[in-house]
Amino acid sequence: MDLALTEEQEMLKTAVRGFIQVEYPKETLLEMAAEEQPVTAEPWQRLVATGWLGIAIPQEYGGEGGSFTDAGVLFEELGRGPVPGPHLSSCVLAASAILEGGTEEQKQEWLPALARGERILVPAMTEASYSWAEKDVRSTVRQNGGGLRLDGTKVYVFDAVSATHLLCTARSEESNEVGLVIVPVTADGVEIRSLPGFSWNLAEVKLNDVSVDQDSLVGSSFARGWDALQRAIARTIPVMCAYQVGACQSVYEMSVDYSRTRIQFGRPIGRFQRVEDHIINLVNQLDAARWTTYETLWKLDSGKPATDSIHLAKAVGSAAYYQACNFAHEVHAGVGSVTEYGLTLHTTASRTLYHYLGDPQFHRRRLADALSL
């Protein structure tokens, strides 16, 4: 038993933390949040150049070939920002889907490009009747001469504005199976519209009679797409949970610092037990997220059955990030809601990650299934 990181992992952690402090200071993060523009200009290019984002991609396909825990270390640090960008959606989730379901040619073509950030492939999964179930995929795809044609509307698509390509779930009109189709965002008939409000990099994607080549079908078969995506989501969730852990840690540190330095009634507000309660609730959420996540990463790395742990980690981790931000707002009161202070970057991210890849209640129900209840 050893719950410490390895020396290499500690080195990676230190390096990533240093990089993010320099390249993603609060001012940069605030600018990126205000612009509603693709987050793939600088400093994203320098992040890509480190090679770290290929951590979940095997070396034979141009990645770093890291373990799940290695990826967790990287994403925990990214979460501290919170650093936006399609690192999770493209470099982990879409890459895993290609790895799980792609043909050898597709792996050769796509994985090195994703690892190097030359292409950004963003999964477009959910639709108007929001759900993560196969039955709710209504977008259609049909054979059209030597290629495929797609129709449908994808909604709440995370990171779509940063994409060069979309990895769309679509139902075959011929076989009724749900497959994965790669669509360039520049194709005729593709319209991407950022969703305004409290959402974090969510967009609507319209596919109006979009034509793509036959080899855009992942695995050359509709039959393989949905299951490959589910396996990819299962691989991605623990990494996403690590991102949430880093985010909670950052929110926690922000709150502790504030409660030590903000003076009211002649003393730091952290001396008031009402305020202490918020900090304690926050650290309990943080550590619940941390240890459910770490155990899941370890199970995957050591080849143990991990289905129940994956659902547990997502259910706990997404609720934890949401709650951690709420407790932080109770500690900070007014200043917490001032955009410039930076807490709302997390608050906004926490709401979108709450439901991304399934909300806590969804995963609690899947956990019940996994426990054979």
Partner 1 sequence: MDFEPTYTPEQEEFRQDVREWLAENVSPDIAHPPDSINITEEQYQLRRGLGRKLGEKGWLWATAPEEYGGGGLSLDHAVVIEEEVDSYGLTIPPYYDSGGRLGGASIMVWGTDEQKQTFLPPIFRGQVRTWQLLTEPEAGSDLANAKMSADRDGDEYVINGQKIYVGSSLGCDYMWTITCTDNEAPRHQNLGWFMIPADLPGITIQPMELLISGGESGAGSGVKNTVFFDNVRVPAFNLIGGENEGWKVATTHLELEHGTGGRIGRNWLVDHLFEYCRENQRNGQPLTKDPDVRDKLIDIYVEAEIARLFNLRNYWMRHSKAEITYEGPQASYWRKMSGLRMSQSILDILGPSALTFDPQWGAAEGHMEAHQRSAIVAIHPGGTADIQKLIMARRIGIGREVREKAGALA
Contact residues: partner 1, CB under 8 A: 1-5, 69, 256, 259-260, 268, 270-271, 273, 275-277, 279-280, 283-284, 287-288, 291-292, 294-295, 297-299, 302, 312, 315-316, 364-365, 367-368, 371, 373
Q: How far is the CB of 259 from partner 1 (least distance, A)?
A: 5
In Å, the largest CA–CA distance within the chain is 77
Q: Which residues pair with 207 in a beta bridge?
A: 152, 190
- Nearer to partner 1 (CB atom), residue 162 or residue 318: 318
Q: How far is the CB of 108 from partner 1 (least distance, A)?
A: 33
- Nearer to partner 1 (CB atom), residue 1 or residue 34: 1
The tally of CA atoms less than 13 A away on the side-chain side of residue 149 is 10
Q: How far is the CB of 368 from partner 1 (least distance, A)?
A: 5
Cα 224 from Cα 46, distance rounded (Å): 35
| Run of H or E including 184 | strand 178-184
- Nearer to partner 1 (CB atom), residue 168 or residue 241: 241
Neighbours of 17 (CB within 10 A): 14
- Nearer to partner 1 (CB atom), residue 206 or residue 364: 364
DSSP structural state of residue 257: H
Q: How far is the CB of 320 from partner 1 (least distance, A)?
A: 10
Residue 177 identity: E
- Nearer to partner 1 (CB atom), residue 41 or residue 368: 368
- Nearer to partner 1 (CB atom), residue 75 or residue 110: 75
As a three-state string, the secondary structure of 194-252 is ECCCCCCCEEEEEEEEEEEEHHHEHHHCHHHHHHHHHHHHHHHHHHHHHHHHHHHHHHH
Q: How far is the CB of 316 from partner 1 (least distance, A)?
A: 6
DSSP structural state of residue 62: T
The tally of CA atoms less than 13 A away on the side-chain side of residue 65 is 5
- Nearer to partner 1 (CB atom), residue 170 or residue 289: 289
Q: How far is the CB of 309 from partner 1 (least distance, A)?
A: 9
Tokens of 201: 């990099």
Q: Angle at Cα 312 formed by Cα 98 and Cα 199, nearest 5°?
A: 65
Q: How far is the CB of 157 from partner 1 (least distance, A)?
A: 29
- Nearer to partner 1 (CB atom), residue 67 or residue 169: 67
- Nearer to partner 1 (CB atom), residue 120 or residue 275: 275
- Nearer to partner 1 (CB atom), residue 11 or residue 128: 11
Neighbours of 194 (CB within 10 A): 14
Q: How far is the CB of 49 from partner 1 (least distance, A)?
A: 29
Q: How far is the CB of 154 from partner 1 (least distance, A)?
A: 30
DSSP structural state of residue 303: T
Ramachandran bin of 232, using left for φ above 0, alpha for ψ from -120 to 50, beta for the remaining angles: alpha
Q: Which residues pair with 217 in a beta bridge?
A: 181
Q: How far is the CB of 2 from partner 1 (least distance, A)?
A: 5
Task: Tell me the CA distances in angstroms from 161 to 85, 116, 218, 259, 327, one per residue in order.
Answer: 10, 19, 22, 37, 31
Is the alpha carbon torsion for 258, 263, 265, 270 positive or negative? positive
**Backbone phi, psi, residue 51, to 5°:** 85, -10
